Chain A
């Protein structure tokens, strides 16, 4: 049964690797140590899976802001109508370590109302 033991050990190692990656829960490629706030009018809206996405014309540049899956957006009240093109938004979140000018929002504020997206 030594080879059986070896295969169990292999599986355990792979599972542990997967579990440590899981801990990031999809936020792994964002710089959580340095939160930023991006504010400005919404230029484009993609209310799509796996993540809704808006572009925001801030003072310095146009940002791509990654939001939550659409089902969560809707259940938290941040429907496509709420984050419509032209509305002003303030997004608090983290810069992507991969994509230039992209950030992922922890929460957004539209019309004075804050929506938690995590």
Chain B
């Protein structure tokens, strides 16, 4: 516990839930495992969508690929948030002050904003277009930004423990 953190995070860490997560034999470890498994699923789904938008698997219908992979990504992201909140609650006051964690949160916001840009500028234009058809101009830069940002988010997540 560190009192240098804003009171709300000190309260989260010292809550009954925080103590329960720290003292349980299984909770913290399970959340750790769930976080990495969710990350695998999320990275896989994101990679399928982004690679399609960069030009890979060109012989498939993009809207079909996007629809299926989006579901997987949403479910995996929910798993990431749930397991991440569990890990955060156990150590909130320390983690919130961790510079790499703060960078990670910023990158997540950037990644989510990038998804909004994709849904606004790309998704409507790729509905019902056939395999091998040219993709909208915005597709490739947004997909490259997506891959870059989410890989950096994952790297930051691992690096929290070292700073």
The answer to the question of B76 belonging to the interface, with a C-beta cut-off of 8 Å to chain A, is: no
Structural contact, B155 and A14, CB atoms closer than 8 A: yes
The main secondary structure of chain A at its interface with chain B is helix
Contact with B along A12-26 (1 / 0, CB 8 A): 001101100110101
Bound complex: CA of A28 vs CA of B158, how far in Å? 13
Q: With an 8 A cutoff between CB atoms, is B128 at the interface?
A: no
The answer for the CA separation of A69 and B117 in the assembled complex, in Å, is 42
Interface string of B24-68 (1 = CB under 8 A from A): 111111000000000000000000000000110000000000000
Determine chain B's interface SS by DSSP, over half rule.
helix
Q: Which of B19, B144, B158 contacts A22 (CB 8 A)?
A: B158
Q: Any chain B CB within 8 A of the CB of A47?
A: yes
For B, the interface residue count at a CB cutoff of 8 angstroms equals 26
- Indicate if A3 sits at the interface (CB-CB under 8 A): yes
Across the interface, A14 reaches (CB within 8 A) one of B27, B91, B140, B151, namely B151
Contact yes or no, A49 B148, CB < 8 A: no
> Does residue B102 face the partner (Cβ distance < 8 Å to A)?
no
Whether B159 is near chain A, meaning CB under 8 Å from some CB there, is yes
Interchain CA distance A28-B151 in the complex, whole Å: 23
CB distance from B83 to the nearest CB of A (A): 14
* Count class of interface residues, chain A: 20 to 34
B15: interface (CB < 8 Å): no
Q: Is B25 a contact partner of A71 (Cβ separation < 8 A)?
A: yes
**For window 2-39 of chain A, which residues contact chain B by CB distance below 8 Å?**
3-4, 6-7, 10-11, 14-15, 17-18, 21-22, 24, 26, 28-29
CB neighbors of B among A50-84 (8 A): 50, 69-71, 74
B45 shortest CB reach to chain A, Å: 17
Q: Are B162 and A21 touching (Cβ within 8 A)?
A: yes
Contact, CB under 8 Å: B148 / A7: yes
Additional A-B contact list (15), CB under 8 Å, known A14-B151, A22-B158: A3-B141, A7-B144, A11-B148, A14-B152, A15-B151, A18-B159, A21-B158, A21-B162, A26-B162, A29-B162, A49-B28, A49-B29, A50-B90, A71-B26, A71-B29
List the interface of chain B (C-beta within 8 A of A): 19, 21-29, 54-55, 90-91, 140-141, 144, 147-148, 151-152, 155, 158-159, 161-162
